[in-house]
A and B are shown apart, each in its own frame.
Chain A
Amino acid sequence: MITLTIRAQPQAPLEAGSITPDNFQSKSADQILNLPVTHGNERTLIGDFFDVDGDGSAEIVLNGDLSRVKNIGAGMTLGSIRINGNVGMHLGAAMHGGEIKVFGSVGDWAGAEMTGGKIHVTGDAGHGLGGAYRGSRHGMNRGLIVVEGSAGNEVGAAMRRGLIVVKQNVGDFAGAFMIAGSIIVFGKMGIRAGAGLLRGSIITFQEPELLPTYRYDCSYNPAFVNLLFQTLRNDGISIPVEHAGGCFRRYSGDFNRLGKGEILVYDQR
């Protein structure tokens, strides 16, 4: 296990894409201290900001307030990162494998365009969670993101595959232009959820403000929701018992586009 503890708070955002298990697993503590990070417009070293303990491991622990540290775990393919504190933007963006657990909140674009692996956030998440960067065709494409708190706008925007679970509320445009995959929101969704959705599923447990381009189909108990919940439980993610095995109202849409997606609304009755 390699432990990094922040010693000096960066004055400008710190681009720390070099903090990945892939980079660390074969390096000594000295080599890790000398890995590059970008502080504002300056090239600096990890050692300028962090104390490092341990070497040669794909298990990383980060301690301290990392709200200004960006790109941690970006593109990682293996191993694990555990963060004790808040963390900045682009956490695990484009990651391919491995696991990130954050005991705190994360900034915008966490898990953006990821293609595998797992991110678990005990606090809140910013905008663009698992989404697509501006100009990109696809957001998240496989993998799992779980946020115990709330998330911002454009959760899962243009996502292609994978699963995003938000235990509390999400902002506007959740699942906008989603191509496939699943988003589960236990709290309230902002306006225009599923706008431009091609395929894919948005599952929500509070009454949403639906776009007029969605059509009601039926009220039923889709078996795949049970499977999703059971899979999450097997992953150690708690699902409120009252939400298991319930009935959902199915709305098809977005009929502005293909109309092969769906919003499933938990039927409280």
Chain B
Amino acid sequence: MTTFINGVEIEDTFAEAFGMWCGRVIITAADRKWAYEAANKMTGFATSIIACGCEAGIESDLDQTPDGRPGVSILIFAPGKDSLARHMRDRIGQCVLTCPTTACFNGLPGSEQVSIGGQVRFFGDTFQISKIIAGRRYWRIPVMEGEFLIEEKFGLQRAVGGGNILILGSDPQCTLKAAEFAVEAMKRVPGVILPFPGGIVRSGSKVGSRYKFLKASTNDPFCPSLRGVVSSAIPDGVNSVLEIVMDGLDIDAIEQATRQGILAACIPGIRRIAAGNYGGHLGKFKIYLNKVLEGVHFK
């Protein structure tokens, strides 16, 4: 059954999401500026596992942090535990260790633990100092600025990656505005990140390509300029499509973010909200757009 919100069609379809592993990194610094400097660097070039190997984003600002300083929470996702741990180690080592005044803590203490700080500590070249505080081990690594503090172990947990919505609008301006509204609403959901620039993807991809060497290529059924060339999925009157991809700590968080995103994106000029899937053959999770809207009262 097709649903309409503010005159916007909600397609009777589902987003297909995948099982992934996730870690949460808490970065603190002398002030919020430097916490964000480190967080932005650490989550850079982490939009899609297709080419980046991991997906990462800033989850939220933190007022209460382990050391009482301003902080930022980051979520980072990868298909496997080993690759996730490797990306966390490398990104913390290159982007947080190097950033003035920062310290780095585990944000998932109750889950399966891997040694991250326990590897980064070798940068200290035997001058590093171990501290066990409240049962958790930390490493103090001497650096030129003073000292870098990092927790030894970081938790990893099973998570969900690749939830998405597609916003189909009559022109690029209103489509972008709707996507921005959706991003603002979705970012407020705890346990969710939107790994693409500004949370928005303009170049959604399909699996495979006419080129044998390419794993993914442009999602031609949703490209307005190819409406007359391919079997298009774009209805009449649609001239721009933007996608919002989300990763979450669990399926509930993804469903909640999907709901908030759809509700925020239904503004004048938007014709349809859809979702990307692979026929249900690839992903472990299906997020039905109509199902996540059940119980929501709208015009």
| Contacts from A to B (Cβ < 8 Å) | 142, 161-163, 180, 182, 199, 201, 218, 220-224, 226-231, 233-235, 244-245, 260
Contact = CB atoms under 8 A, between A and B. Distances in A.
Contacts of A162: 132
Given A201-B131, A230-B68, A234-B134, 20 more contacts: A163-B133, A182-B131, A201-B129, A220-B146, A222-B146, A222-B149, A223-B28, A223-B67, A223-B103, A224-B133, A224-B138, A224-B140, A227-B67, A228-B133, A229-B68, A230-B66, A231-B134, A233-B68, A235-B134, A260-B129
Nearest to A220: B146
A227 B104 CA distance: 11
Contacts, number: 54
A224 B131 contact: yes
28 contacts: A142-B132, A180-B130, A182-B131, A199-B129, A201-B129, A201-B131, A218-B146, A221-B146, A222-B140, A222-B146, A223-B67, A223-B103, A223-B140, A223-B147, A223-B148, A223-B149, A224-B131, A224-B149, A226-B68, A227-B66, A227-B67, A227-B103, A227-B133, A229-B68, A230-B65, A230-B66, A231-B134, A234-B134
Contacts of A199: 129
Contacts of A228: 133
B215 to A, nearest CB: 42
A245 B31 CA distance: 12
B41 interface: no
Interface string B13-42: 000000000000000100000000000000
A120 to B, nearest CB: 15
**Centre residue among B129, B140, B148, B149 by max chain A CB count within 10 A:** B129
**Centre residue among B68, B103, B140 by max chain A CB count within 10 A:** B68
Nearest to B65: A230
B69 interface: yes
Nearest to A235: B134
Contacts of A245: 68
